[in-house]
Amino acid sequence: MLQAMRALAGTVGALALVGGALVGMAGCSPGTAKHAPTSVSSGTTTTTAPVAAKRPLAGWARATSASEFASEVLAGAPLPPGAHLWKGKIPGALQTAGERPSGALIDLHRLYSSTWPAGQRLQTYVLAHLPQGAGSAGTSYYSPGNGSAGSEGLAVTLPTYGPNEYSAQLLYATVSTAAGAYVLRVDAQTTWAQTRAASEKVPGNYRALLTGFKALSLMRGPSGPASVDLSPADSARLVKAFDALPLGGGGMCMEDSLLYTITFSPTSGAGPGYKVSGWGCAASVQVSTGNSVLPPLYDKSCSLLDLVRQFAPASATATRELTCP
């Protein structure tokens, strides 16, 4: 069930290849059940986190930490009418659904008793009770193949706010009981980006060498590179946009494509150089300086990509025609 649900959830802010070019695609009324303390898994560590107040229909309020963000997403998960906490044994098909987070990904879950399976009806209800910007990542069915009850599942992606809320999604999975009801497991999976260190930003008085591409391909990589040395004014605009990017949580795409590269160099005197590459997966921006690889960045609002499209050479048609997810 874990693999199936993660496949459904897909990637936040991914770019898809359409017609030879990469284009953007989309990677509450709270329930009435009472919420108990929740098991939190982050990497290999499991702790108990307090449950935050539910967020309003208008959107998530800004959290101040990774654990608060995950708690608030789970607390705001819409539940089908009449759902209440499940106190029985956890069905085998639900024991690992959505778990095994890695890196910055946090997973929290709760179990409920419900009369609704995790199918189209629940999906429609959930999406109708989430903030604007939430979207469905699909449904699935998992059968253990040993005579045990299989599970149905659905995944929804959620809008995020502020520089630290990198990604958020809710996973719903159900198995039927002998009494004709369902055990519902709800997982909140979130990624929180830490605040970027000032030492990882490009200093002033740097020039930029921008490279775009004539064609982009998920299978073969980019082709037809075209480069331009930007003017001091345009370089300063690119540096400002780059320095304003938040840290990213890292993408989870099965495949990816390089969209552009930037080399920042000091205009005079000694100083480190910065090599920057923009990728289609999760609006990720990779950075290195010298032999050091810096944490990935997240061009969530396409502020850097918009300038890249504007400044790229005319022959770099695929880069210039990119659209924001």
Encoded amino acid at 239, one letter = V
Which helix or strand (DSSP H or E) is residue 182 part of?
strand 182-192
For residue 311, the model assigns a pLDDT of 98
pLDDT tens per residue, range 61-108: 667 888 888 888 998 899 999 999 998 888 877 876 554 555 578 889
For residues 312 and 226, the answer to whether their CB atoms sit within 8 Å is yes
169 SS3 class:
strand
Q: Which of 192, 214, 236 is the C-terminal boundary of a domain?
A: 192
Per-residue pLDDT band for 15 (boundaries 50, 70, 90) equals very low
74 SS3 class:
helix
Per-residue pLDDT band for 143 (boundaries 50, 70, 90) equals very low
Whether residue 145 is found in the same domain as residue 203: no
Nearest to 75 by CA among 58, 53, 97: 53
Whether residue 181 is found in the same domain as residue 220: no
What phi-psi label fits residue 94: left (phi over 0), alpha (psi between -120 and 50 degrees) or beta?
alpha
For residue 54, the model assigns a pLDDT of 37
For residues 98 and 189, the answer to whether their CB atoms sit within 8 Å is yes
**Domain contains 10:** yes
Encoded amino acid at 220, one letter = R
Q: Which of 177, 192, 207 is the C-terminal boundary of a domain?
A: 192
Average the pLDDT over 154-176 and give the result.
85
Nearest to 325 by CA among 276, 281, 259: 281
Whether residue 170 is found in the same domain as residue 54: yes
* C-alpha 132, offset from chain centre: 17
For residue 59, the model assigns a pLDDT of 44
Which comes out higher in pLDDT, residue 149 or 152? 152
Question: Domains in the chain: how many in total?
Answer: 2
Per-residue pLDDT band for 37 (boundaries 50, 70, 90) equals very low
**Domain contains 82:** yes
Encoded amino acid at 27, one letter = G
- 95: containing domain: 2-18+27-192
Whether residue 169 is found in the same domain as residue 219: no
Task: Evaluate if residue 284 carries a pLDDT over 70.
Answer: yes
**Domain contains 115:** yes
For residues 198 and 188, the answer to whether their CB atoms sit within 8 Å is no
Sheet with 274-279, strands from edge to edge, namely 223-229, 206-215, 258-266, 274-279, 284-289, 292-298
For residues 49 and 67, the answer to whether their CB atoms sit within 8 Å is yes
Tell me the average pLDDT of the chain: 76
Whether residue 128 is found in the same domain as residue 219: no
**Domain contains 52:** yes
For residue 202, the model assigns a pLDDT of 93
Whether residue 139 is found in the same domain as residue 257: no
**Residue linked to tokens 């999406």:** 127
Whether residue 298 is found in the same domain as residue 203: yes
Which comes out higher in pLDDT, residue 249 or 158? 158
Q: Which of 192, 207, 233 is the C-terminal boundary of a domain?
A: 192
**Domain contains 311:** yes
Task: Evaluate if residue 137 carries a pLDDT over 70.
Answer: no
Whether residue 179 is found in the same domain as residue 41: yes
Whether residue 160 is found in the same domain as residue 251: no
Whether residue 187 is found in the same domain as residue 216: no
Which comes out higher in pLDDT, residue 222 or 27? 222
For residue 309, the model assigns a pLDDT of 97
User: Poorest-confidence range of 42-46, 85-89, 146-150?
Assistant: 42-46
**Domain contains 208:** yes
Average the pLDDT over 19-27 and give the result.
31
Task: Evaluate if residue 314 carries a pLDDT over 60.
Answer: yes
**Domain contains 290:** yes
> In DSSP terms, which residues pair with 176 in a beta bridge?
182
**Domain contains 325:** no
pLDDT tens per residue, range 192-205: 877 788 888 998 88
pLDDT tens per residue, range 215-256: 998 888 899 999 999 999 999 999 999 999 988 765 556 678
Close Cβ partners of 16 (under 8 Å, ≥ 6 residues apart): 22, 23, 24, 25
Per-residue pLDDT band for 11 (boundaries 50, 70, 90) equals very low
Query: What CA–CA distance (Å, rounded) separates 158 from 79?
Result: 15
Whether residue 210 is found in the same domain as residue 179: no
Whether residue 301 is found in the same domain as residue 256: yes
* C-alpha 66, offset from chain centre: 14
